[in-house]
Amino acid sequence: MQILTELINSLKSDSPIKQITVGAHWTVIQSQYCGMASTTLSDKQYGEGSVMNAGSLHQMSAKTLAAYAHSNNPLEASIGLASINSLLRIPTRNLLSANAFDVIAEKGVNKNIAIFGHFPKIDLLRETAQSVSVFELTPGINELGLEKVPEILHNADVVAITSSMLINHTLDGILPYLKPGCFTMMVGPSTPLSSVLFDHGISMLSGIKVIDPELLFRSVSQGAIFRQVKGVELVSIQKQNLSHIY
C-alpha cells in the first residue's frame, strides 16, 4: 500500500470533518474540500465488518480518517479514500472534459489494451483494438484473474485502471508490470487527482470535481448510482507538473 501512504503523506493540510455520508453506492466527505469514493463492501457471507468509531467519524480530522484507506475492511478503506479526496485541491484550469472511454478507444486502435475493472462498451473496443484483456478480482466469462498480470500486462500499450483498486489494495501489485511508455489511465469517481499517481506510471487521471456539495450529499444519501449523482462534473488531468495548472 505504498501509493496510499504517499497519497496521505502528500496532503498539505488537515481539516475537521464537516459532513460525511456513507451511501449505498458512494461515500462522500466534506472537509477542506469535498471528495467521494466508491462504497465497497466485502464478500462476507453474513454481513460486514464493523466500521471503527462509527458514529464518531465526524469528530475526527480528515487526515486521521484518511488512514482508514489502509484498512483491510473495504468499507473503512472506502471512507479513507473519500477522506483523502476531500483534502485534495482540484486544479482550476487546464482540466479536460474528455470521455474516458473515448480516450481509451482512440489510444487503443490497433493496440493491445488491458482493462482492470468493469467498463462499459468493452465489445466496441474489441472491434478496433488488436487485443483487449479484461482483469477482475472474481473473473467472469472472457475475463482474467490478477494472477495473469505478469504474463499479459507487459504487452499492453493502453491500460485502463478502475480507481477502486486503491480501495481493494491491488494497485501496487500491478504497476511494476506496466510496459515502459504505455498509456495508463485511472478512471472513476474515487480517483485522487494527485501527482503522486503520475509518479507511479499513470499517464492520465479521470475523476470528478464537486461543484455543489449539497446536491451531492442529497443524491448519495438517497441511494443514487453514478448516473443519478448530482453536484459533480467529470474531469481529467494529463501527466504534467500540477503546479502549472492551478
Contacts of 63 (CB under 8 A, 6+ apart): 8, 11, 14, 15, 83, 87
Give the CA diameter of the chain.
52
Is the confidence at residue 198, as pLDDT, over 80? yes
pLDDT tens track for 59-113: 999 999 999 999 999 999 999 999 999 999 987 767 888 888 999 999 999 999 9
pLDDT tens track for 119-155: 888 999 999 999 999 999 999 999 999 999 999 999 9
Q: Which residues pair with 30 in a beta bridge?
A: 19, 34
Domains contained in the chain, CATH given: 2-90+209-232 (3.30.390.100), 100-204 (3.40.50.11590)
Provide the angle, in degrees to the nearest 10, between the axes of the packed helices 74-86 and 2-10. 30
Q: Are strands 26-30 and 131-135 parallel, antiparallel or unpaired?
A: unpaired
Mean pLDDT of the chain: 93
Q: Which residues pair with 34 in a beta bridge?
A: 30
pLDDT score at 46? 64
Amino acid letter for position 246: Y
Question: Which 3-state string (H, E, C) describes 147-182?
Answer: HHHHHHHHHCCEEEEEHHHHCCCCHHHHHHHCCCCC
pTM above 0.75, yes or no: yes
